Structure 1
Amino acid sequence: MALTLPAHPDPLTDRLHTSGLLTELAHGLGGPFHYLLPHRFDTNLAAFHAVLADAGVEGRVHYAKKANKAAVFIDRCAAGGAGADVASLGELREALGQGLRGEELVVTGPAKADALLRIAARHGALIAVDALDELARVLALGLPRPPRVLLRVHPTDQPGSRFGLVARDLDEAMRRCAEAGGQVRMEGFGFHLSGYDVRQRADLASDLVELCLKARVQGLPADRISIGGGFAVDYVPADAWETFLSRQNPGDYHAGRTFTKDDFYPYHSPVAGADALRAVLAASPARRGPSLAERLRGAGVTLLLEPGRALLDRAGGSVFGVQGVKDRDGYGIVTVDGTSLSLSEQWFNSEYLPDPQLLSTRLAHPQETVPYRACVAGASCLDSDLLTWRKIAFPARPQVGDLLVYPNTAGYQMDSNESPFHELPLPRKVVVDHLDGADRPRWRLDR
């Protein structure tokens, strides 16, 4: 029996998939493409804002722009009262150009270039300082308006992390900020924490609140903390995920490829998105005393968030055209008109696991089709170029001209690794509007 891993049912995207629009777009664009659903971004952003309001916590959501390069999501930030987390001069310029103000930006990333620091400071962006030498370069800018900085703290629970100031450097950074007086405005602390552990994030956030109180004694404003992103996305149902993890073996993959449980992103998460923020705020740090929300309110500390994937949940998919199919012993190899570089889980010795959906006119007559197992390969000359190593249980044998739709790929999958290898064009991004109305969906190219 083929091992399946279907995404959560989504009636709205099902409507798009059956509308005929994707087939027209594949023909008109002449290659693979990604579709974007900005109204889903709006819904996810509103959910984060609602959690902050329910908890009585002063907070600010900054969309982690690295999660998707599309301009439309920055547009939605400007319209929905969110800022952005940027980590390069290009991302900074794009965010400013799409309508966000400098003070609505947080600039992260290690060892920032001088040009990035200078322009970020001139526009009033909040700069997350990651090292003492970076702080020295900020202090040397000599701008009329003091740069706004956040000191990034090294997470003691993740000693292998390359981000943040260790304890002795943090003390030195606070001393330098205090002595600098009007040369800098040190507004608080932040951290970069890998993974999705709610309690670990709440505990470290509580430590940052205490650091704010300590910094105020030294005359520093220190009225905000950033807990970064780390809000999981729930892609697939719990039972499907548990079955997949317990049953998957080399026989399920082309060429007997092997994966361990640790290779995979946690595609099912019982607490995800804005609900994960709710759990962080409700947690009692160190399992005692007031909740994190109470500590934030009591200390007068603003909470900054930098979600990326969680704001993009169900906000887009990736579409590839079938170019050919070859039969192997017991399964097939479907080759599509793109490459695995457009599904970025390969960064992590893994692959994107939710099942792709076959769009074919033949599926209107299921009694005339026979199920077919196949992996999905890219159109390059690399033997390792597979979008999906797993042998997918398609409802019929794909044919040239059919489409494969990978669901829910807006968060990191679409463009983190894209490359015009072989001079193949990068997939275009198509914004789909009015999907939930009575009329036919409308589309436009992302700028």
Structure 2
Amino acid sequence: MLISRRLPERPLAGVRPFALPALRHPTVSTLLADHRVLLADLLDGLGSPLHVALPEIFGENVVRLRRAFADAGADVDILFAKKANKADCYVSSAATLGVGVDVASTPELVKALAGGVPGHRIGVSGPEKDDTLHAIAVQHGCLVAVDSISELRRLAATARLARRQATVLLRSRTVGQPGSRFGMSAAERGTAVGLCAELADHIGLRGFSFHLNGYSGAERARAANEMIEHCLDARRYGLMTAELVDIGGGLPVRYVEPRIWNEFLAQNDPTHYHAAKDFEDFYPYGGQAADQTAHAIMRHPVDGGESLATKARRHGIRFVVEPGRALLDQAGFTLFRVQQVDDRRESDGYAIVTVAGSSFSLSEQWFNSDYLPDPLLMSAQPTADELFPACVAGSTCLESDMVTWRKIGFPQPVRRGDHLVYLNTAGYQMDSNESPFHDAPLPSKVVVRLGDGETAPRWRLDGIR
């Protein structure tokens, strides 16, 4: 079995597919180069698509992110945003590494607790949480981000019945995004702070959080600075435990080399996509890496010029961060089996490769976008090099079920039975939008550990130990 590595030459816009080779962790490269028979056997045995989870790389990302914050002089607690991937193995790794988990539903909270993460390391976010989620969070001492005055009153009532004190962050709208549906206005925040003082037996205010769309590190730093000021205001109100600022997630991941990404954006055109699909927006696949962004946020100058981290340290403020994608960078990939190839090169100039599975397993479609890094071709029948332009379709009856709208320049013809590898899919892509459409079972996840180099990789189904 062959993994084709040859990349096509850079195309002219609208003539040849543009190559966007995905960055690869050494562990991923080793698996694809030296253990492709194992991967093919797993795909054939467990079905297509198949998600491969690599929790050891998750651990490396934790170490790298911790170092970036420490180098910037910031005191930060990391909570893994569980919404980014449903696999149990990442929660277990977080528990082992002393990392917390951010959850937004009762099932997520139960899974975090079952995975070994103690309640005091779990953050509960999401708008207007229900009473069951409140009750479990209070019982286990979780940090609850409260979205409104009405939720604050409900949470206080739950804590009163449990004869406990709920640990709370107040989620506030920022100056930069006043129209967000999440969080309280300035007037509501003032009322909520007063309620925290009034209900101090049942509500323990620990600080403030916010929600931002986008990946601007500078905007996130400015919002965090606002929350520091809110903490200082709460202290003046007598709430001296206001010491936390939750900056959320939004730490971007670099999927492709920045130079290639910028060239792609300059040449991008609807003719590069099936049916001349015109996308308005893409994830910043060639942007700044997560650890660089984390460092830049904490070193961002605020007020008179001191860094955000310096100001926080001066006032005894600690940060909470909720990375999802950033901790899953390179920590998994997805395999599809080719089910059919409709060669339309003579009529349309490209082929349509249909895989066993659907675009629900690559969730960029949810955002009306395309997952752009090139998939790799694993072929059991290597042939001479021949550029083979093709998009990739799912096997459902939906016209819009395109796994990849963009025309990929495969280095040889794709055949029925070949396998496609989509790299770096652990962060949001794998399972955020998966559905048992057509009564198809949800794809399996296998947890793979590479070993010491002399023994074969070990694998197990996620959730089975």
Band the TM-score falls in, shorter-chain normalisation: over 0.9
Secondary structure (helix, strand or coil) at the match of 1:182 reads: coil
Specify the alignment match of 1:295 in structure 2: 311
Q: Is the 8 A contact 1:62 1:106 kept in 2?
A: yes
- Residue 57 of structure 1 deviates from its aligned partner by 2.7
- Residue 436 of structure 1 deviates from its aligned partner by 6.3
Specify the alignment match of 1:358 in structure 2: 377
For the pair 1:42 / 2:62, whether they are aligned, the reply is no
Specify the alignment match of 1:217 in structure 2: 236
Specify the alignment match of 1:81 in structure 2: 98
- Residue 431 of structure 1 deviates from its aligned partner by 0.6
- Residue 435 of structure 1 deviates from its aligned partner by 5.4
Query: Which of 272, 277, 285 in structure 2 is aligned with 1:267?
Result: 285
- Residue 55 of structure 1 deviates from its aligned partner by 3.3
Query: Which of 327, 332, 356 in structure 1 is aligned with 2:343?
Result: 327
Specify the alignment match of 1:235 in structure 2: 255
Q: Is the 8 A contact 1:149 1:185 kept in 2?
A: yes
Write the distance in 2 (CA, Å) between the matches of 1:50 and 1:250: 41
The root-mean-square deviation of aligned C-alpha atoms, in Å, is: 1.3
> TM-score normalised to the size of structure 2?
0.92
Specify the alignment match of 1:192 in structure 2: 211
Specify the alignment match of 1:177 in structure 2: 196
Q: Is the 8 A contact 1:17 1:359 kept in 2?
A: no
Write the distance in 1 (CA, Å) between the matches of 2:153 and 2:19: 53
For the pair 1:153 / 2:169, whether they are aligned, the reply is no
Write the distance in 2 (CA, Å) between the matches of 1:252 and 1:180: 59
> TM-score normalised to the size of structure 1?
0.96
Aligned residue-pair number: 440
- Residue 145 of structure 1 deviates from its aligned partner by 1.6
Specify the alignment match of 2:427 in structure 1: 411
Unaligned runs of 5+ in 1: none
Identical aligned pairs, as a percentage? 48
Write the distance in 1 (CA, Å) between the matches of 2:156 and 2:25: 50
| Mean CA deviation greater in 128-137 or 273-282 | 273-282
Secondary structure (helix, strand or coil) at the match of 1:128 reads: strand
**1:18-417 equivalence runs, <5 A:** 18=33, 19=35, 20-141=37-158, 142=160, 143-220=162-239, 221-260=241-280, 263-269=281-287, 271-286=288-303, 288-328=304-344, 329=347, 330-363=349-382, 368-417=384-433
Write the distance in 2 (CA, Å) between the matches of 1:389 and 1:278: 35
Paired AA for residue 284 in structure 2: P
Q: Is the 8 A contact 2:364 2:370 kept in 1?
A: yes
Secondary structure (helix, strand or coil) at the match of 1:181 reads: coil
Write the distance in 1 (CA, Å) between the matches of 2:438 and 2:43: 20
Specify the alignment match of 1:6 in structure 2: 21
For the pair 1:433 / 2:449, whether they are aligned, the reply is yes
Secondary structure (helix, strand or coil) at the match of 1:225 reads: strand
Write the distance in 1 (CA, Å) between the matches of 2:321 and 2:25: 27
Specify the alignment match of 1:420 in structure 2: 436
Paired AA for residue 264 in structure 1: F
Write the distance in 2 (CA, Å) between the matches of 1:189 and 1:411: 26
- Residue 74 of structure 1 deviates from its aligned partner by 0.3
Write the distance in 2 (CA, Å) between the matches of 1:341 and 1:120: 31
- Residue 26 of structure 1 deviates from its aligned partner by 1.0
Paired AA for residue 341 in structure 1: F
| Mean CA deviation greater in 188-197 or 436-445 | 436-445
Q: Is the 8 A contact 1:362 1:369 kept in 2?
A: no
Q: C-alpha deviations, 1:227-258, integer Å up to 9, x for none?
A: 00010001111121112111121221111111
Secondary structure (helix, strand or coil) at the match of 1:39 reads: helix
Paired AA for residue 77 in structure 1: A
